[in-house]
Structure 1
Amino acid sequence: MTTPQRLEQGDTAPAFTLDDQDGNAVSLADFAGRRVIVYFYPAAATPGCTTQACDFRDNLNAFAGEGFAVVGISPDAPAKLQKFAAAEGLTFPLLSDADHAVAEAYGAWGEKKNYGKTYEGLIRSTVVVGRDGTVELAQYNVRATGHVAKLRRDLGLD
């Protein structure tokens, strides 16, 4: 099992380019000069991931008003992400990281335990990237429910 190398405040955020739910390439560089919330979730259309995505959706205007973009990343294929976005009215990019290389670079892939079993998988995580491309905040093993409200508090938006 691998132990992920977690990002910390001040680290340079790893560059990435991934396909979104519509098959368009989206890069971290596309957000240069803006603050971006990059959140990693295990699987589209599951209860926890739906709750978290809808919380981001419901707070999207507030985040945008404070200068933040939101991007979700999971190992799901673009077709599954497209169905998820349509079903839940998600208007921010959902990116497909099928080989989990970006999740690994961000420290969001590693050992997990569930029902007594240990395996490797996606660790629900959020990284806030500043205008200059450095990490402002990195949170790992976050809970799906209540995470967006906590993130808003941690960013001083409430």
Structure 2
Amino acid sequence: MKLKIGDKAPLLNQLDSDGNEVNSTKLLGSKIVLYFYPKDDTPGCTAQACNLNDNLELLQNKGYKVIGVSIDSNEKHTKFKKKYNLNFSLLSDSNLDLVNAYGVWVEKSMYGRTYMGTARTTFLINEEGIITDIIEKVDTKNHSNQIH
């Protein structure tokens, strides 16, 4: 099932890489930038994370909390956050629950080989837990400019 604008966002309930609980119920009342990305410490994913981090205060002033999700382990997330001084939550989805719930676990192809992976996608979620925008064509170097 593909999510669309106006849908209720699937629930989050897990610990981030810092051991903090990320729970949809506790996030009600805040706007969320929930971004899914393929892999820690790769050029595109690093550019995206650093752009969001560099503009975090601006996003927070608009009322957003930023949460990144990949299938990497929390250990990899911790190293990634430390290396780039990232100041927002990263969630490990190694069991594929979130990527499947949000419909971003897709067939990809590279050099003629097909494989399953995470489609770089950002969901903007309002204070009531409703998806208000879905950004599928992410500009990794200027991603914060795509968030309104």
Give the TM-score of the pair, scaled to structure 1: 0.88
Give the C-alpha shift of residue 142 in structure 1: 2.7
Q: Report Cα offsets for 1:77-133 as digits up to 9, x if no partner.
A: 111101110110001000111111101111111111222221111110000111111
Instruction: Name the stretch that deviates more: 27-36 or 121-130.
Output: 27-36
Q: How many residues align?
A: 148
Give the C-alpha shift of residue 30 in structure 1: 2.5
The alignment partner of 1:146 has SS state of helix
CA distance in 2, matches of 1:46, 1:122: 14
Structure 2 residue 126 is the aligned partner of structure 1 residue 130: yes
Instruction: Name the stretch that deviates more: 84-93 or 24-33.
Output: 24-33
Give the C-alpha shift of residue 67 in structure 1: 0.6
The question of whether the paired residues in 1 share the 8 Å contact of 2:33 and 2:65 is answered with: yes
Identify which of 53, 58, 62 aligns with 1:62: 58
Give the TM-score of the pair, scaled to structure 2: 0.93
Give the corresponding residue for 1:146.
142
Letter in 2 for 1:71: I
Identify which of 92, 98, 101 aligns with 1:102: 98
The alignment partner of 2:56 has SS state of helix
Q: How does 1:1-150 map to 2 (within 5 A)?
A: 5-149=1-145
Give the C-alpha shift of residue 9 in structure 1: 0.9
**Structure 1 alignment gaps of length 5 or more:** none
CA distance in 2, matches of 1:114, 1:142: 19
